[in-house]
Amino acid sequence: MEKLQLFGMPAEKGRWLLIPLSITVLLCLGTVYSWSIFRKPLEKLLSVGATDSLLPFTVLLVVFAILMPITGFYINRFDTRLITGVGGLITAVGYILSSLGGNIPTLTITYGVIAGMGVGITYGVPLAVVAKWFPDKKGLAVGATVIGFGLSPLITAPLAKFLIDAVGVQQTFVILGIAFAAIITAISTVLTTPPPGWQPEGWTPPGSVQTNSHTTTSGSILQTSSFYGLWLCYTIGSFAGLAAIGISSPLAQEIIKLDAATAANTVSLFAIFNGAGRLFFGWFTDKFTPKLGAIVSFVLILIGSIMMLSAGKGSVLTYIVAFSLFYLALGGWLAIAPTSTLIMFQSQDYAKNYGIVFTAYGMGALGGTLLAGKIRDIFGSYTNFFYPTAGLAIVGIIVAVFMLKRTSANADLVR
């Protein structure tokens, strides 16, 4: 029998090329995390305030949070190459149309809704493809791939700043849209799953493990206190982290008095912590417990919030350390939440269960970014925003202690 080939090599070797290709797709999609670079130019161009300039970003995150789990339900029914290509083109169209937006409502539709749909459709496909090609190294392969989304601002933030300075914010949308269309559609042609039953040569799947009697079924996940504890904690983590992403560059310019170029460079630096958080908290949550992972993340948010309450002109180190903690915690929640879902509930129902849990990401995005903008417009500064993030971090610790644990009523936490 002829051995399966991938990229002209035996599949066991060729599959490794899928990881950098998938990372590249997620790097394109993760440009949304560089939104803070666009905000100041848009506020000046459209004569709007902080709340308005955050709205397209907020809507994109909510649409992304809705579409990602929906796509997960249908990913096995359609060709992964088709889904990736269509999602990539929709993302590109959203960016290109955003160049025509002469007001916030239009930009909210083009960038928030259309680009958000593209990101939501495409995001999960590279992860699913890589997971199927690496049944023997699933954690390593998927973990390496998902870093691409979080690390995107490391590349895209300075690129966006360069383009905005060179051709303006509207033409930057066009250039990025065309680039995304070319890159994602090209890569989509090879993002195919292995044939049913394929497994790496020399690898034997581990024997089936009897399901722990303490786990829950997808039908009862909404009836467990641990689900609501996890959902609330994920919402709080997303609330602080996504707001930090949306305000990092303008806050650096307004409060710390950094110039625009330096502020853009700090966003690139923070992207490293976003990626590192996914690796560290994925390992930490699996090694210890979801409760401890959540508590550590909220302690980081609390420390960062307290630091930012005293930050002012010239507090560069305070700003860098605090926002590094916010990005680290946000990256952490994009690992804590899926890992906790696997630990706390039936693994065979993971796609459906995590789709439900992931709605917390959208809720956190909506609340955090809108509140940050409102506080900036009302008080003239983002500083007061760190009072609610500090308070919510304390609430998160309490919720984690009392709700992310095994109870006699539902006994749904198995670790």
User: How far is Cα 321 from Cα 333, in angstroms, rounded to an integer?
Assistant: 19
Q: Which residues pair with 5 in a beta bridge?
A: 10
User: How far is Cα 404 from Cα 210, in angstroms, rounded to an integer?
Assistant: 23
User: How far is Cα 201 from Cα 135, in angstroms, rounded to an integer?
Assistant: 11
91, two tokens: 């993302």
Q: Could you read off the pLDDT tens digit of each residue along the chain, which spans 415 residues?
A: 467 888 888 888 899 999 999 999 999 999 998 898 898 899 999 999 888 998 999 899 889 988 887 887 777 778 889 999 999 999 999 999 999 978 999 999 999 999 999 999 998 888 888 878 888 876 677 777 878 888 888 889 889 999 999 999 999 999 999 999 999 999 999 999 888 888 888 777 765 433 443 444 445 688 888 899 999 999 999 999 889 888 998 999 999 999 988 988 888 889 889 888 888 887 888 788 899 999 999 999 999 999 999 999 989 999 999 999 999 999 889 888 887 887 788 766 666 777 788 889 889 988 988 899 899 999 999 999 999 999 999 999 999 999 986 433 334 433 3
Which residue do the tokens 């895209």 mark? Answer: 156
What pLDDT score does 139 carry?
A: 63
Radius of gyration of the CA atoms of the chain, in A: 21
Q: Which residues contact 165 (CB under 8 A, 6 or more apart)?
A: none
What pLDDT score does 2 carry?
A: 60
pTM of the predicted structure, to 2 decimals: 0.77
What pLDDT score does 351 carry?
A: 63
- Terminal-residue alpha carbon distance, the chain: 44
User: How far is Cα 307 from Cα 388, in angstroms, rounded to an integer?
Assistant: 14
**Residue from 297, 286, 270 nearest 150 by CA:** 270
Measured N-to-C along each axis, helices 50-74 and 35-46 cross at an angle, to the nearest 10 degrees, of 130
| CB neighbours of residue 204 within 10 Å | 8
304, two tokens: 């960062």
User: How far is Cα 105 from Cα 112, in angstroms, rounded to an integer?
Assistant: 10
Which bin fits 245, alpha (ψ -120 to 50), beta or left (φ > 0)? Answer: alpha
SS3 per-residue string spanning the chain? CCCCEECCEEHHHHHHHHHHHHHHHHHHHHHHHHHHHHHHHHHHHHCCCHHHHHHHHHHHHHHHHHHHHHHHHHCCCCCHHHHHHHHHHHHHHHHHHHCCCCCHHHHHHHHHHHHHHHHHHHHHHHHHHHHHHCCCCHHHHHHHHHHHHHHHHHHHHHHHHHHHHHHCHHHHHHHHHHHHHHHHHHHHCCCCCCCCCCCCCCCCCCCCCCCCCCCCCCCCHHHCHHHHHHHHHHHHHHHHHHHHHHHHHHHHHHCCCCCHHHHHHHHHHHHHHHHHHHHHHHHHHHHCCHHHHHHHHHHHHHHHHHHHHCCCCCCHHHHHHHHHHHHHHHHHHHHHHHHHHHHHCCHHHHHHHHHHHCHHHHHHHHHHHHHHHHHHHHHCCCHHHHHHHHHHHHHHHHHHHHHCCCCCCCCCCCC
**Residue from 185, 29, 163, 173 nearest 96 by CA:** 173
Which bin fits 361, alpha (ψ -120 to 50), beta or left (φ > 0)? Answer: alpha
> Under a CB-based contact definition with an 8 Å cutoff, are residues 311 and 383 in contact?
yes
